[in-house]
Amino acid sequence: MTRIFETPLYPYARAADQDAAAPVRHPVVVAGAGPVGLVAAIDLAQRGVPVVVLDENDRVSFGSRAICFAKRTLEILDRLGCGEEAVTRGVTWNTGRVFKGETEIYSFDLLPEEGHRRPAFVNLQQYTLEEILVRRLRDLAEAGAPVQLRGANSISAVGAHHDHVRLEVDTPEGPYSLQAGWLVACDGAGSPVRRMLGLDFPGRGFEDCFLIADVAMHSDLSTERRFWFDPPFNRGQSALLHRQPEGIWRIDLQIGPDIDREAEKAPERVIPRIRSMLGEEARFTLDWVSIYSFQCRRMERFRHGRVIFAGDAAHQVSPFGARGANSGIQDADNLGWKLAAVIAGGSERLLDSYNWERVLAADENILASTRSTDFISPRSAASRAFRDAVLDLAARHEFARPMVNSGRLSVPCIYDDGPLNGTDARGLPARTRPGAPACDAALDRKQGGGWLLDRLGGGFCLLAIDVDMPEENDLPAVRLTAKGAPTLAERWLGKADGAIYLIRPDQHIAARWTSWDGPAVAAALARAEARG
């Protein structure tokens, strides 16, 4: 059977730009067709912004790589028109189990409350998500959206100017030049664009190495995240097991520092490790094997003139907690509407707010990732003694369980004190404060049914719950009542009788009030658009 990553999905085709007498200028060029670059391109294309994606490959990535896609990412994919397919093709999970040795310490539920359209996580191989995104981008192009994906187009030189970026691009038929009004660099942790601009990528590396094995097998194990400290099959180290679609299981085994990477990837070394974990009777085949070590890094700034960095090109974290691809997709979600607004004549201060908000998110993710790695791989005898004591306590006492850190799983950043935040009325729930992503809720029949998030985002809008508001406004309005809708009331009203929210295009909350105040709403909108 031919696997999707073996097939060119966007093969090289000669572009008209290659025959132009002078370099053609495009409003936006995206470097890289991984999940982050494809999300950025789809978002811009849906907003009518012409965009060209350049990728050195002509097919999706090989191996599972990122596999855990969080609830917020799924909600972003819903807005882009491909969330349902991602969920349908993926494996849904909300719970996890933590072991020390052979003993289960405790289990946890990441989404214990009802009334959400999407689960806490979906496991889906990165190459499958990329396939879904490529087809979505292609569908948009066929429907007339101004978007192109050029495979086997590798950026070889970057020249940054005050009003554009000049690119030299290598192809199988030779090089050509083009210009970008804005260049969005989504070209990975080794970012050629970052290197060509001579920009630093400071951070910290970790010595321990981990073996990833994608294993094809049939198993009746439930779909949960399983993490082991000091398991009998990998003494003194850790292990992680995740179910994936298509009968594939992802295994991560800590194997220590100072190893021979090529030797450890050999089947004769990998298979005994896997058999020790799964048991002598297990029947499996190796689908993909890799060795990795952690790095936590971040660029000082994500915007450099007309070059904007997103995803691993801007920041890198360890994989524990599934914060890499999820935070990168949230970068693209934050950037898309802002870049579209700037191209339409809005303030470039919006792009400075992208830098502020997503640097905050990167620092949050790096801190969580570093702490997880330090707990999983203690660097000193004292750290290991503390870790083991916490694990022993957690097996018997609930108070110690939050101290166990097998990876703080990805949650969206809340932009507290962010530059676009406006009024925050007292008495409303903390979870829907300015800077926070909108919280979903099921809507009953009298309110049209469906899900709240489906009615929010794409552009600025007002959400009015049990508050009188003029019929004529400059913004689209969603009018709801919390009467008979306890979930909506709990998440959006708290103890208040009513509320009005200003919602950003990326579904983050910009401001809120408990009664209508036209001038205050106008002022908050100006601030959220970086005009105030």
Q: What is the per-residue pLDDT for 11?
A: 96
Kindly report the average pLDDT of the chain as a whole number. 93
pLDDT, greater one: 60 or 319: 60
152 pLDDT more than 90: yes
3 pLDDT more than 80: no
Secondary element (H or E) of residue 340: helix 324-343
Please state, for a pLDDT cut of 70, what percent of the chain lies above it: 99
Tokens of residue 157, six digits: 């030189």
Tokens of residue 415, six digits: 């932009």
Kindly report, residue by residue over 101-143, the tens digit of the pLDDT. Answer: 999 999 989 888 888 999 999 999 999 999 999 999 999 999 9
Q: What is the mean pLDDT of residues 33-50?
A: 98
pLDDT, greater one: 54 or 210: 54
pLDDT, greater one: 447 or 167: 167
Q: What is the per-residue pLDDT for 198?
A: 97
Q: What is the per-residue pLDDT for 2?
A: 64
Q: What is the per-residue pLDDT for 516?
A: 95
Q: What is the per-residue pLDDT for 247?
A: 92
63 pLDDT more than 80: no
Our CA dihedral for 207, 209, 210, 211, rounded to 10 degrees, sits at: 170
Q: What is the per-residue pLDDT for 364?
A: 93
Q: What is the per-residue pLDDT for 410?
A: 83
pLDDT, greater one: 220 or 453: 453
Residue 369's pLDDT band, with cuts at 50, 70 and 90, is confident
Q: What is the per-residue pLDDT for 283?
A: 92
Q: What is the per-residue pLDDT for 1?
A: 53
Residues 353 and 415: beta-carbon distance below 8 Å:
no
Q: What is the mean pLDDT of residues 210-239?
A: 92
Q: Is 199 exposed, middle or buried (0-12, 13-18, 19+ CB in 10 A)?
A: middle
Residue listed under structure tokens 């992680």: 240
pLDDT, greater one: 389 or 484: 389
Tokens of residue 424, six digits: 């925050």
Kindly report, residue by residue over 442-476, the tens digit of the pLDDT. Answer: 998 878 889 999 999 899 999 999 999 998 888 99
Residue 499's pLDDT band, with cuts at 50, 70 and 90, is very high
Q: Which domains does the chain have, with CATH numbers?
A: 4-89+125-202+298-351 (3.50.50.60), 203-295 (3.30.9.10), 430-528 (3.40.30.120)
Q: Is residue 215 helix, strand or coil?
A: strand
